[in-house]
Structure formats: C-alpha cells, structure tokens
A and B are shown apart, each in its own frame.
Chain A
Amino acid sequence: MNIVVLAKLVPDLVEELEIDDSGIALDMTWLRLIINELDDHAIEEAILLKERTGANVTVLAPDIEGVDDILFTAAAKGADRLIKIVGDYESGVNNLGLARVLTPVIKDLQPDLILAGVEAHEDLDGSIGPLLAGYLDLPFIGYVASIELEEGKATATKEYPGGLSAEMEVALPVVLGIQVADEPPRYVAVSKVRQAMKTAEIEELEAGDFDLSGGPTIDRMYQPEVGESATIIDGSLDDIADSLIGIFKELGVQ
C-alpha cells in the first residue's frame, strides 16, 4: 500500500498580512510561512493508516522556503519518503499549474491513495486534490474526516454541513481531500526532527515550466475595511466588563 501526501506552505494567518507595491500580491518579505493546517491533518491521517496497515508514506511538497522543515517533521512522525518539487515559485504558482506538474510525478509513484488537505486559504483556482484527481482520471472525495482501508478499497467519511456525514466506499486508487484526521496531528519533539535531518533524505525533482493557464488574473488585492459595523468598547477592563454586562441586560440574556 502506497500513500502519497501533498503538503504545502501557506502564510500564517496569525501574522499581519500586507499587500506589496504591485497591489496584486501579498508582501512576502516578512511573511511567516507554515504548513497548510489541513495538509498537516492529511499527513497525520497517512501516518495513522501506516500504523494500522503498514502502508508506505511519501510526502510530496513544492520547494518553497521552509519546505525542508515540514518534510523532516513528517519524517520524524513516520513518513518513509520525502520529495520536494524544485522550480520557480517566485512569481506565484497557482493550483492548476502545480497540479499539472504533480500529475506525472504522482503517476510514477503508483500510489493506492493520495491525500491532501481539502483546501488552503490561498486557493483562488480550485483545490489541489480534486484538480489532481481530474488530471489523473481518479475519483475524488473531499471534506473527509476518517478513512478505513481494506483490500482494494477505502471507506471515507465525508462531512456535510450541520454535522451530517456520509460513509462512502470507493475503489483504490483514489484522491481524498482531508478536512480533519482521525486524531489531532501529533506533537513531535524538536530533537526527533533534528535526528530526521541527519537520517532522512529529501529527494529533489524538477518542476520544469509551470503552465498556469486557466487560473484567474488578479487586478487588485486589498484588505477589507475592518470594524465597519462593530462598536468598539474601550476603557479600563473594569469599565469594559460593566459595559458588557449592561449590553447583556439590554439584550435580555442576563
């Protein structure tokens, strides 16, 4: 059983985001990049499946600054093989472009199961998982919260709004978009990551030229007006607490 997991780095939303001088892209100068949270769940799910079935786990990631860190961290968690796709990401690569480059790479790896976070907060041209499924001519199930593997097939639990889910059976190979792993992503000690840096190897594959066609062109990027509707309550903590209690009373909930 071969599992391939896709992981990528995205801006950390805890940091303040700024638009660069072009007005159509984020200013990357001080931006902190972290693993797309849902990709982290996809890696966790792959490792859980490995522990249950003995599957072999390959983690595949675009070579963006910080990629070694996320790959070695995956190795420390139990990933068997690490691959980064080297290319020119400077001017931005959309999901269509990335999916087109990843398609032959994934075909060569002959996976039974391909996992990716179901979306990333920077997606503007669809999500990498179903785009890949389209190019690979494989079925896709997204918003998956749990996976069971059996001979030649997977049972995936897909989430719908309102807490409803559906158990879906699908023949392998399949691409699954992960919403959440069966268990929260495990913590891995820095010392184990350091050890992985010494023992694990990151393979490099060339992306070649990206074909970005089909993705939209951005003419303007901006931050929405903040606080348009909120009345900000300020003052000392004491005053604020009193004001809030006043509001609760007025609204009839206290």
Chain B
Amino acid sequence: MNKDILVVIEHIRGEVADISYMMIAAARQLAETTEGEVLAVLMGSGVENLAGNLAADKVIYFEDPQLADFTSSTYQQTLEILISEVNPRAVILGHTSIGMEVASLLSAKSDLPLVSTCLSFSGENGLIKFTSQLYGGKILAEGLIPEPIALLTMVPGGYKPEDGQSSTPPLVTTAAPPQFTDLQISIKQYIEPETGDVDITLQPLLIAVGRGIQLEDNIEIAEELAEAIGGVVCASRPVVDQGWLPTSRLVGKSGYRVKPKVYLALGISGAPEHTEGIAGSETIIAINTDPAAPIFNIAKYGVVEDIFDLVPLLTEKIEES
C-alpha cells in the first residue's frame, strides 16, 4: 500500500512560491491519514537553500544545470522516474503555470489519474476525499482521490502557508535527475514586469474593476472615484485582456498580488484566479449585482447594487464632503 505524499516545490528565480507551503500543509494532513511521510521534491540548480524551511519529513533535491529554469519537459521526466521509484499515494502540484502542465503531462505519459483544482482534503479510515473548485469558484465537487497513485493540483484557499513552514530544517538528499531526452524547449530570456506609472502592490486603497464594467469608457467611473478618494484603479484579467488597462494594473494569479488596506471590488465576480491576488488585503469591499458572486465569500462588506448607479453617487458625495 502506497503511503508517502510527494510535494513538487515551486520556485522561480530564487524564491519559493507560497503555494508550495500550502501544498506541504495539505500533504501533512494527507500523510496522517496514510501514515506515510511528506517528501518534498525540489528541482533546480544551486537552490538547495530553498529547502531550509519546508515542513517536510525529507526533501529530495535534484540538482542539475538543465533544471535551472522551469520547463515542463525536464520536470515531467524527473518526476516520472521519481514516482516510479517512490510509489507515493499522492503527488501534489500547484494548479499554476508550473504545476498544472506538469501534472497533465505526467497523467498522459505515465497513465496516472489526476484531480485538478483541489481546494482541500479530508481523510478518514485511510481514504482521502478531495474538494475541488470548479466553474470559477461557483461550484465545489467532492470525491475520493483515485487509486493507487493520484496526481493532485492545488489552488490556494484551503491551507495557510505558515502551516507548511518549519524552523527546523528538513533532511535533504541530493540526487541527480535522469538523463534528459528529446528536450525541445529552451529559455531565451525573462521579461521583467512592465513598470507602470504606479506600483499597485504598494497602494493603500485600490479600486478594482472587473467584467461588470462592461465597456472601456465605463472605467471612467472608477477613475473618478479613485481621484476623489485618493485611490488607484486596478483590474481583473478580462479588463486587461481587452487592452482597457495595462498589465501593470493586473491583479490575480497571473498578475500582481496586492495587499492594500482597502480593496474595493467593482463588478468583480471573484473567480479563484483573481482572489488569489487579493488574499493579502486588509479589508475587501465588494459591489456586485449578483448576490451569489463568490467575491462576497471573501469580502468583509458587500453591496448588492449596480455599480453604475452607486459609484457615481459615491464619488459625488466624497467630492462634496
């Protein structure tokens, strides 16, 4: 019976991503059910120090110049061999631009079952139940993780990063990856984030617009409010993808993680890709016409109204006061 839980540590340019600690926290819970160990897998070149605060029983560190930058092929080939040697009960990866593609490739190539977008797990009598987030966070699905080895990709929200960190350094074993074959992908360069006129990660008050803003011209109502109250306008992915605001204003999984005192969400439904970027906000206030919008789950204050009715009035009142 497989028992151990493998966690694929994600890091980019010398920093461990928060999701890695959340995955370790989840793995600790799973390992209790399976009575196995938590094995963290770190792949890279000269990054052994990143293992230092992982709350894993062991860290397997694959050191190789070809692992210096992430590519799905090198990660997949390294993990394929490791999984066949360790026979873990589960392999946890991030549902991210690193883990998601590696998990799917592994599933197809090694014929391993896969459950994506796992938010949390629960275990009883050796069985592990997953809860996955579907349809932009509007639906949750539960089931048992498949036998015998399950690949799991995780979204943030169910576990705290602190619970995956430890002040006692884990045991680290350094290993060489397999001889890579047929590598077709090479990194040419990294492109730094676009530096905009403002750094939205440093703002105390953000006025965020989402799909509910409907038209480019309507962004004006958010800008007017921002000007009146002294905030800065930012946006969720659909608004930036339309080219209505620059990527320097993008908040979410693929954009910036912000931590303002107040995050005022206008017409934002609260899809997981977006909320991942605003979890660090002190207070979230949401205005949305849909009372069932998932944004209300994480907002401290909610208003179920049309932003086009409320926001101009709010601006007017602030200007008057």
Binding site for B on A (CB under 8 A): 11, 13, 16-17, 19, 24, 26, 37, 41, 96, 99, 118-119, 121-127, 129-135, 139-143, 155, 157-171, 174, 177, 179-180, 183-184, 213-234, 237-238, 240-242, 244-245, 247-248, 251-254
**Complexed CA–CA distance, A216 and B145 (Å):** 7
Complex contacts, B114 vs chain A, CB 8 Å: 96, 125-126, 214-216
**Complexed CA–CA distance, A11 and B136 (Å):** 11
Complex contacts, B314 vs chain A, CB 8 Å: 241, 244-245
Instruction: Check B111 against A214 for contact (C-beta < 8 Å).
Output: yes
> Chain A residue with minimal CB distance to B248?
A163
Known contacts A123-B116, A166-B187; is-contact A240 B261 (Cβ 8 Å): no
Complex contacts, B237 vs chain A, CB 8 Å: 180
Indicate with 1 or 0, residue by residue over B123-152, a CB within 8 angstroms of chain A CB atoms. 000000110101111111111111000010
**Complexed CA–CA distance, A165 and B286 (Å):** 30
Binding site for A on B (CB under 8 A): 12-13, 17, 69, 71-73, 96-98, 100-109, 111-117, 129-130, 132, 134-146, 151, 153, 184-194, 204-205, 229-231, 237-238, 241-243, 247-248, 250, 253-257, 261-262, 269, 271, 282-283, 285-286, 291-294, 296-305, 309-310, 313-314, 317-318, 321
Known contacts A141-B72, A216-B145, A230-B299; is-contact A163 B139 (Cβ 8 Å): no
**Complexed CA–CA distance, A19 and B283 (Å):** 32
Partner of A252, one of B69, B261, B317: B261
Complex contacts, A252 vs chain B, CB 8 Å: 261
Instruction: Check A224 against B294 for contact (C-beta < 8 Å).
Output: yes
Partner of A226, one of B190, B229, B296: B296
Complex contacts, B193 vs chain A, CB 8 Å: 162-164
Known contacts A121-B136, A130-B101, A163-B255; is-contact A135 B108 (Cβ 8 Å): yes
**Complexed CA–CA distance, A233 and B264 (Å):** 14
Complex contacts, B153 vs chain A, CB 8 Å: 126
Instruction: Check A216 against B291 for contact (C-beta < 8 Å).
Output: no
**Complexed CA–CA distance, A223 and B102 (Å):** 29
Complex contacts, A157 vs chain B, CB 8 Å: 191
Query: A13-B271, A124-B115, A223-B292 known; 14 other A-B pairs, CB under 8 Å?
Result: A19-B139, A26-B139, A126-B103, A134-B104, A139-B72, A142-B101, A161-B17, A161-B96, A164-B13, A169-B187, A219-B144, A230-B296, A234-B304, A253-B262
Instruction: Check B12 against A130 for contact (C-beta < 8 Å).
Output: no
Complex contacts, B310 vs chain A, CB 8 Å: 237, 240-241
Q: Interface SS of chain B: helix, strand, loop or mixed?
A: mixed
Complex contacts, A238 vs chain B, CB 8 Å: 313
Instruction: Check B299 against A240 for contact (C-beta < 8 Å).
Output: no
**Complexed CA–CA distance, A165 and B190 (Å):** 6
> Chain A residue with minimal CB distance to B315?
A241
Complex contacts, A99 vs chain B, CB 8 Å: 108
Known contacts A11-B135, A167-B189; is-contact A233 B142 (Cβ 8 Å): no
Partner of B231, one of A135, A217, A253: A253
Instruction: Check B97 against A226 for contact (C-beta < 8 Å).
Output: no
Instruction: Check A170 against B184 for contact (C-beta < 8 Å).
Output: yes
Instruction: Check B96 against A217 for contact (C-beta < 8 Å).
Output: no
Complex contacts, B72 vs chain A, CB 8 Å: 130, 139-142
> Chain A residue with minimal CB distance to B282?
A251
7 A-B pairs in the complex with CB atoms less than 8 angstroms apart: A126-B151, A169-B187, A215-B113, A216-B144, A224-B138, A229-B299, A231-B302
Complex contacts, A177 vs chain B, CB 8 Å: 101
Complex contacts, A254 vs chain B, CB 8 Å: 229-230, 318
Which of A131, A132, A228 is packed against the most chain B CB atoms within 10 Å?
A: A131
**Complexed CA–CA distance, A223 and B129 (Å):** 17
> Chain A residue with minimal CB distance to B73?
A139
Complex contacts, A122 vs chain B, CB 8 Å: 134-135
Taking the closest CB of chain A, its distance from the CB of B267, in whole angstroms, is 12
**Complexed CA–CA distance, A16 and B248 (Å):** 32
**Complexed CA–CA distance, A123 and B310 (Å):** 36
**Complexed CA–CA distance, A59 and B309 (Å):** 42
Taking the closest CB of chain B, its distance from the CB of A107, in whole angstroms, is 14
> Chain B residue with minimal CB distance to A26?
B139
Complex contacts, B184 vs chain A, CB 8 Å: 139, 170-171, 174
Instruction: Check A142 against B107 for contact (C-beta < 8 Å).
Output: no
Partner of B192, one of A16, A140, A164, A221: A164
Taking the closest CB of chain A, its distance from the CB of B269, in whole angstroms, is 7
Complex contacts, B309 vs chain A, CB 8 Å: 237
Complex contacts, A223 vs chain B, CB 8 Å: 138-140, 292
Known contacts A143-B97, A167-B189, A242-B317; is-contact A227 B134 (Cβ 8 Å): no
